[in-house]
Every structure is written in structure tokens, then in C-alpha cells.
């Protein structure tokens, strides 16, 4: 079936807002609280901001305490089994509270809920869940919530709503309650067409679809006007931005367009697929002064045999060449990556190829994962020759190397002066956290009133995870 990009109509978005107002009126003036619990990636964090935007429009305030929440929304991740188990554990644990407070509404949404098998399991075994809907239903959360409210009070509390469609729309004009005032997520596209053989994302988030660059630039502009100083463009594979949208900019063009917006802010982006990262992109990064010199470039494996089985579309050699080119073109480039250990068929030799390649590239930080078979993906049915112990041992060795690489790179920053954005407050001696242009975490001492400010800092110390500095 050919994929057709479809946009949500403005009228449909407006209708959802009207439903929020209706729910607000029906529930009346009393205080009510919601908790939105987010698992997984930044895209999910961004989706949770829309859930909160809708809930705020229904008159809900937000709480971190489950007991206090009238509505608990669990926005789930399906990328690894571990996250899924945690979701089931936490949702199961809500049953006791629900017994005492049957009026509490539990919502399970996001990537897990897009899978028919999981919806079936929730329907059968997690009766605590009142509403369960997939990623494609996010835009119509108010309509589904209204339906849930209607059936929720039915005798025996048997009214439950389960919905998911395959129809993925590009939705503009949805309300959003953002976390924080300094850093903002800006989703530029959704879905993925790559079908890496281990990955569930294309199945739960659908085919790639990009927003229009005018809409993205308008949102970026409003964020800058609202005082946000760090904007992260989000997409499963930002390098293929604009593909299939006639006359649209490509990702390098989009970076240039956002860079041209007036204001003192930084542009970051996540995630780049190595096969689509081009010289044009690196040049745009180098030429756009607001674009952070940071590339998160998931390698996954350093073995050509495994990369092929993963359907990644590049070789160890071509990956290395790209990182060399990027480093040459972008001064002070910070490189980070994702690695999967224990993919089916990975031998000790394959693993050593990965270890060696990561050491050759030199990463500031590596997100390391043990391969987790995802039902429905091709690799899930492949034999894994290595034992759990072997895989754990490889993982431990990789982590040790990753930590050593990070510590050495961080150590080399000591004595340098960096421009940072102060973006968080902490308990303890170092009361502030900040990020360098390349995204390195720098802990500082200073007053909370500095939150959201730029500062020049001298780096005085470091460890595996962070730098320490003094404001000068």
C-alpha cells in the first residue's frame, strides 16, 4: 500500500479543543489533578506535553503523587522489553489504589498501546486501565477521554475504551503544556521508514511524515519569543526530513531556516541516521552559529556483518569516514552514539570490531543496550548463538570502555573556558547544571536566579559523566 501523508484538518483540531472545554464544564469548578508518567525517548516527552496541554484545557492541575491524581496517564515505550516490564509493573501497582478510589481513571497510551497484542493483554489482564490508545490517536485524546468518562461510571465499572488505528496524521494546532522554560522539544517529523531488523519503532510510530517547514519555523519563533534558549528538533531520523513532501526543504535547509530566526538561542537535533548524514548537513552545522556542534550518530555495531543483518545501510568504514569528515568540518564537534550488544549472531570477533571502532571514533557518551527481541520485528525470530553471560560480559566491557572514553574526553576539557546555558538547579554542593554548546553537562555553583542565563565558565574538574566549572 502506498503511503500517503495526511494532515489533520484545522476543524478537527478545533473540535478537540471544544471537547476539552465541554469536559471542563461537565466536571465543574472543583480542583482535579492529573499525573502524566512518561517512558522512553524525547518524542514521548514531547507527546506528553500535548497530553498535558489537553488535560490543562480540561481543568486539570498536575501532581507527581499517584495517590493524589484523579487521572494517571502512562505514556509508554516499546523499544526494549525492560521498559515494557516496568510499565506493566507500575500499572499493575495502581490496582490497589483503584480499589480504594474506583473513580480514579488510568490511561495507557503511546508505543506499547499501538500493538494489538499488548492492547489485548491490557484488556484481559490489566483491568485497572480504563482507556488505552495508540500513538496515532494522540490528537483525539479529548474525544477518547470524554467517551471514557461517559462509560466509566457504568455499573461494575466495566466501561473501558480501547482504540488504535493505522492512520497516522500530521497534526498541527494541538495545545501543549511544556516542561520548563529554558529547553524545548520541537517535533519536526514522526515515524520511521528504515526498518532496522531489531526495531519496533516503524511498527508503532508508522511511516515517516514531516511537518511543513513554515509550521516548524513559526513554532521555533514563538518559542524564542517566549524566552526558550535551547530548542531540540526531534525526529526518529531527522536526516530524512522533508522526503516525500513536494517542494519542501531538506534537513540542512531546515537548520538554516531556523538558524535565521533572530534571538540568542541554540538549536539541537535528535536523531541522525548515519546512512543519511551528509556533507551538506555537516556544512550547514558548521555555518549555522546557533546549531550546536553535537551529533548523536547511532553506530549500533562496528561489524559489517552485523550492520548488514541489522539493515543499517552503512559499513564500519563508511561510518568512520563520516565522523572524520564531520570532525574536520565542525570545530569542537561532540559525538555521541547508541550501541546494541548481543544482536543475534554477534560473535566475539564482531563485538571486538564494535569495541575497536568506538575507541577509534572516541565518544563523549555512549548509550549502550543489550539486544532485546521485539515481537513482530525480523530479528526476533533469529537464533542468538551467544549465552546471556557472554552478552552481559560484552556489555560490561563496552560500558567500561565507554566510561574511560568519556572520562578522558572530559579530562581534556579541564582548564578550558566554555559558554554554557544554565538549565537546571540541583541539590548539593553544585547547585546549578548547564550545557556547553556541544551538549556537555557542566555542574556549577551559583544562585537559582541564574537559571536560563548564559555564562562563561572555566572548567575546573571532570568525571565520567560531567564537567565541573566556575562562572567567570
Cβ neighbors of 324 (< 8 A, separation 6 or more) are none
CB closer to ligand 5AD, 199 vs 285: 199
- Pick from 16, 48, 187, 194: which binds ligand SF4 (CB under 6 A)? 194
Three-class secondary structure assignment of 267-282: EEEECCCHHHCCHHHH
Q: Which does 173 bind (CB under 5 to 8 A by kind): ligand 5AD, ligand SF4, none?
A: none
Whether residue 145 contacts residue 121, with contact meaning beta carbons closer than 8 Å, is answered with no
Minimum distance from residue 303 beta carbon to ligand 5AD (Å): 15
Buried (b) or exposed (e) across 196-208, using 16+ Cβ within 10 A? bbbbbbbbbbbeb
- The answer to whether 326 contacts ligand 5AD (rule: CB under 6 A) is no
Minimum distance from residue 398 beta carbon to ligand 5AD (Å): 12
- The answer to whether 340 contacts ligand 5AD (rule: CB under 6 A) is yes
**In the stretch 147-186, what mask flags binding to ligand 5AD with x, by CB under 6 A?**
----------------------------------------
- The answer to whether 33 contacts ligand 5AD (rule: CB under 6 A) is no
Can the peptide bond before residue 442 be classed as cis, meaning omega within 30 degrees of 0? no
Cell of 301: 555495531
Rounded Cα distance between 156 and 127, Å, is 12
Phi–psi pair at 133, nearest 5 degrees: -145, 150
Q: Which does 372 bind (CB under 5 to 8 A by kind): ligand SF4, ligand 5AD, none?
A: ligand 5AD
Cα distances (Å, whole numbers) of residue 219 to 9, 185, 388 = 18, 10, 46
- The answer to whether 382 contacts ligand 5AD (rule: CB under 6 A) is no
CB closer to ligand SF4, 250 vs 272: 272
Q: Nearest to ligand 5AD by Cβ — which residue? A: 338
Rounded Cα distance between 237 and 15, Å, is 31
> How many residues form the binding site for ligand 5AD (CB under 6 A)?
12
Residue length of the chain: 472
CA torsion angle 115 1 188 133 (round to 10): -20
Cell of 116: 494489538
Piece of the chain touching ligand SF4 by CB under 6 A; list 22-30, 116-124, 188-196, 365-373: 188-196
Minimum distance from residue 348 beta carbon to ligand SF4 (Å): 24
- The answer to whether 369 contacts ligand 5AD (rule: CB under 6 A) is yes
Q: Give long-range contacts, CB 8 A cutoff, 24+ apart: 450-453.
A: 450/422, 451/182, 451/422, 451/423, 451/424, 451/425, 452/181, 452/182, 452/227, 452/229, 452/421, 452/422, 452/423, 453/421, 453/422
CB closer to ligand SF4, 42 vs 433: 42
Cβ neighbors of 103 (< 8 A, separation 6 or more) are 70, 152
- The answer to whether 139 contacts ligand 5AD (rule: CB under 6 A) is no
CB closer to ligand SF4, 38 vs 236: 236
Q: Is 453 helix (H, G, I), strand (E, B) or coil?
A: coil
- The answer to whether 199 contacts ligand SF4 (rule: CB under 6 A) is yes
- Pick from 76, 236, 303, 368: which binds ligand SF4 (CB under 6 A)? 236
- The answer to whether 374 contacts ligand 5AD (rule: CB under 6 A) is yes
- Pick from 90, 372, 393, 431: which binds ligand 5AD (CB under 6 A)? 372
How many CB atoms lie under 10 A from the CB of residue 100? 8
- The answer to whether 202 contacts ligand SF4 (rule: CB under 6 A) is yes
For residue 135, give the DSSP letter.
G
Whether residue 448 contacts residue 425, with contact meaning beta carbons closer than 8 Å, is answered with yes
- Pick from 19, 57, 75, 80: which binds ligand 5AD (CB under 6 A)? 80
- The answer to whether 196 contacts ligand SF4 (rule: CB under 6 A) is yes
Phi–psi pair at 143, nearest 5 degrees: -65, -40
CB closer to ligand 5AD, 110 vs 142: 110
Cell of 275: 546512512
- The answer to whether 195 contacts ligand SF4 (rule: CB under 6 A) is yes
Q: Which does 39 bind (CB under 5 to 8 A by kind): ligand 5AD, ligand SF4, none?
A: none
Q: Is 227 helix (H, G, I), strand (E, B) or coil?
A: coil
- The answer to whether 391 contacts ligand 5AD (rule: CB under 6 A) is no
CB closer to ligand 5AD, 114 vs 436: 114
- The answer to whether 299 contacts ligand 5AD (rule: CB under 6 A) is no
Rounded Cα distance between 132 and 120, Å, is 10
Q: Which does 236 bind (CB under 5 to 8 A by kind): ligand 5AD, ligand SF4, none?
A: ligand SF4
Element (H, E) at 399: helix 388-411
Query: What part of residues 272-291 is at the interface with ligand SF4 (CB under 6 A)?
Result: 273
Rounded Cα distance between 327 and 330, Å, is 5
Give helix 348-361 / helix 316-329 axis angle, nearest 10°.
10
**In the stretch 243-282, what mask flags binding to ligand 5AD with x, by CB under 6 A?**
----------------------------------------
Residues of the shown chain interacting with ligand SF4 in the complex, contacts defined by CB under 6 A: 192, 194-196, 199, 201-202, 236-237, 273
Residues of the shown chain interacting with ligand 5AD in the complex, contacts defined by CB under 6 A: 79-80, 198-199, 298, 300, 338, 340, 369, 371-372, 374
Amino acid at each position: 500500500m502506498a503511503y500517503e501523508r495526511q494532515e489533520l484538518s484545522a476543524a478537527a483540531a478545533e473540535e478537540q479543543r471544544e471537547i476539552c472545554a465541554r469536559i471542563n464544564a461537565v466536571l465543574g469548578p472543583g480542583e482535579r489533578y492529573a499525573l502524566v508518567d512518561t517512558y522512553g525517548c524525547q518524542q514521548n516527552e514531547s507527546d506528553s506535553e500535548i497530553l498535558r496541554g489537553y488535560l490543562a484545557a480540561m481543568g486539570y492541575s498536575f501532581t507527581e503523587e499517584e495517590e493524589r491524581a484523579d487521572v494517571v496517564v502512562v505514556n509508554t515505550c516499546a523499544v526494549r522489553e525492560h521498559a515494557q516490564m516496568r510499565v506493566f509493573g507500575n500499572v499493575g501497582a495502581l490496582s490497589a489504589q483503584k480499589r480504594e478510589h474506583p473513580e480514579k481513571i488510568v490511561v495507557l497510551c503511546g508505543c506499547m498501546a499501538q500493538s494489538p497484542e499488548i492492547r489485548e493483554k491490557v484488556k484481559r489482564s490489566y483491568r485497572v486501565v480504563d482507556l488505552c490508545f495508540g500513538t496515532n490517536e494522540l490528537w483525539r485524546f479529548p474525544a477518547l477521554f470524554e467517551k471514557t468518562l461517559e462509560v466509566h461510571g457504568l455499573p461494575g465499572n466495566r466501561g473501558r475504551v480501547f482504540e488504535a488505528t493505522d492512520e497516522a496524521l500530521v497534526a498541527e494546532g494541538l495545545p501543549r503544556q511544556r516542561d520548563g522554560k529554558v529547553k524545548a522539544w520541537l517535533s519536526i517529523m514522526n515515524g520511521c521508514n528504515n526498518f532496522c531488523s531489531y526495531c519496533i519503532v516503524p511498527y508503532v510510530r508508522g511511516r515517516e511524515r514531516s511537518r511543513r517547514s513554515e509550521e516548524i519555523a513559526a513554532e521555533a519563533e514563538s518559542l524564542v519569543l517566549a524566552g526558550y534558549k535551547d530548542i531540540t528538533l526531534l525526529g526518529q531520523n531527522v536526516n530524512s526530513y522533508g522526503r516525500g513532501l513536494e517542494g519542501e526543504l531538506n534537513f540542512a535547509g531546515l537548520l538554516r531556516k531556523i538558524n535565521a530566526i533572530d534571538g540568542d538561542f541554540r538549536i539541537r537535533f535528535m536523531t541522525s541516521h548515519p546512512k543519511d548524514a551528509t556533507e551538506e548537513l555537516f556544512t550547514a552545522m558548521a555555518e549555522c552559529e546557533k546549531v550546536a556542534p553535537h551529533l548523536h550518530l547511532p553506530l549500533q555495531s562496528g561489524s559489517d556483518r552485523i550492520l548488514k543483518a541489522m539493515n543499517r545501510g552503512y559499513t564500519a568504514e563508511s561510518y568512520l569516514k563520516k565522523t572524520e569528515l564531520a570532525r574536520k568540518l565542525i570545530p569542537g564537534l561532540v559525538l555521541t552514539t547508541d550501541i546494541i550488544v548481543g544482536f543475534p549472531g554477534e560473535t566475539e570477533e564482531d563485538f571486538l570490531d564494535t569495541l575497536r571502532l568506538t575507541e577509534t571514533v572516541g565518544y563523549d557518551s555512549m548509550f549502550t543496550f543489550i539486544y532485546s527481541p521485539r515481537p513482530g520485528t525480523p530479528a526476533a525470530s533469529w537464533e542468538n548463538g551467544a549465552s546471556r553471560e557472554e552478552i552481559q560480559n560484552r556489555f560490561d566491557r563496552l560500558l567500561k570502555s565507554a566510561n574511560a572514553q568519556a572520562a578522558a574526553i572530559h579530562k581534556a576539557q579541564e582548564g578550558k573556558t566554555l559558554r554554557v546555558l544554565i538549565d537546571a538547579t540541583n541539590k548539593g554542593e553544585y547547585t546549578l547544571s548547564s550545557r556547553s554548546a556541544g551538549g556537555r553537562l557542566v555542574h556549577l555553583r551559583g544562585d537559582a536566579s541564574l537559571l536560563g542565563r548564559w555564562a562563561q565558565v572555566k572548567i575546573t574538574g571532570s568525571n565520567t559523566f560531567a564537567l565541573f566549572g566556575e562562572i567567570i
